[in-house]
Amino acid sequence: MQKVLVSFRFFNEWIKFLKDNGLEVKAWDSPVPPSKIWIKENISDADGLLCSLVNRIDREVIDAAKKLKVISTFSVGYDHIDVNYAKSKKIRIGYTPEVLTDATADLIFGLILAVARRIVEGDRLIRFGKWNQPWTPDFMLGTEVNGKVLGIVGMGRIGKALIKRAKGFGMKVIYNSRTKKDVDAEFVDLDYLAKESDFVVLAVDLNPTTYHIVNKDFIEKMKRSAFLINASRGKVIDETALTEALKLGKIRGAALDVFEEEPISSDNPLIKLENVVLTPHIGSATYETRQKMAEVSVKNLLAGIKGEQMIYEL
């Protein structure tokens, strides 16, 4: 019997699906991810690995695997896997693009609106009993989204889905990517994007060229009235530089779904800032999308084990 290792808490019905397909399944069952030692011990005789972004699949883990044919990740991002090393060992890699694009783009728009229109701040105000003045024309003013410039860094699947939404909100879109794309938006360099955007959204994958792509220099170039939104990976922003800039009012606000350290530590200074909206890495977290991701990742895993074509392979 072929064996698969599931190294994060996964849906029971999809574990059953793997078993019904004749596989022996060893599955981790806690929200706290397993140690590297546990993964190394259990991957040694596994034919397939189903992992997520909470697992670091580095050389050491890959070297511990003696029969591994496939790594299937329950994510579109693959910065947690040493892809080149795995491929050099003839291990195939499956991932879940496309199926989470719309859910993530929707969340990003939610973040844009939430931070610009102070939605979460208003909710806090009511809950903490601080809504104690009648309506006045200057109360809780936010920033209009319509007519503003949206600067998208990274014009991939999510970037393109953002253009569609931005048009509906009457925004002008500019973007930067490594390569120019055939999209209804203006291709600009990163400096120009930083200077001209009212909303900067990061939609890049995490790779050596995007690590801290938003740093002190970038933020210095942004308008004081601008907002920064990130639902890609935490490490694309220098969080210390961002926190400092927010404290000093160098930009108006930020909305973040991802962080350099996750879960965010309770003494992270971002938590204390009013002009920041924080969500706990929920970009793709809808019932519908997580089911699609489960189906794709499980089918990728099965295809990898059987030597068949995967739905999405790196």
Q: Where in the sequence numbering do the catalytic residues fall?
A: 233, 262, 281
Give me the 181-210 binding string for ligand NAP, x by CB under 6 A, dash otherwise: ----------------------xxxxx-xx
Residue among 68 and 219 whose Cβ is closer to ligand NAP? 219
Residue 41 CA to residue 28 CA, distance in Å, equals 13
What's the first-to-final CA gap in the chain, in angstroms?
A: 27
Residue 292 CA to residue 72 CA, distance in Å, equals 14
Residue among 23 and 258 whose Cβ is closer to ligand NAP? 258
Q: Are 104 and 283 in contact (CB under 8 A)?
A: yes
* β-sheet with 172-176: strand ranges across: 186-187, 172-176, 149-153, 199-202, 227-230, 253-256, 276-278
Q: Does 311 bind ligand NAP (CB under 6 A)?
A: no
Residue among 18 and 228 whose Cβ is closer to ligand NAP? 228
* Cβ at position 167, least distance to ligand NAP in Å: 18
Tokens representing 236?
Answer: 């694309």
Please, what is the angle between helix 287-306 and helix 101-116, to 10°?
A: 150
* Cβ at position 98, least distance to ligand NAP in Å: 8
Q: Does 257 bind ligand NAP (CB under 6 A)?
A: yes
Residue among 49 and 161 whose Cβ is closer to ligand NAP? 161
* Cβ at position 300, least distance to ligand NAP in Å: 16
Phi and psi of 3, rounded to 5°?
-120, 140
Give me the 270-289 binding string for ligand NAP, x by CB under 6 A, dash otherwise: -----------x-xx-----
Among 33, 34, 48, 77, indicate the residue that binds ligand NAP (CB under 6 A). 77
Q: Containing H/E element for 302?
A: helix 287-306
Closest CA to 304 of 100, 99, 90: 90
Q: Does 176 bind ligand NAP (CB under 6 A)?
A: yes
Q: Does 152 bind ligand NAP (CB under 6 A)?
A: no
Characterize the bridge pairing of strands 199-202 and 92-94. unpaired
Q: Does 104 bind ligand NAP (CB under 6 A)?
A: yes
Characterize the bridge pairing of strands 253-256 and 276-278. parallel
Tokens representing 61?
Answer: 């883990």
- Binding stretches for ligand NAP (CB under 6 A): 76-77, 97, 100-101, 104, 153-159, 176-179, 203-207, 209-210, 231-233, 257-258, 281, 283-284
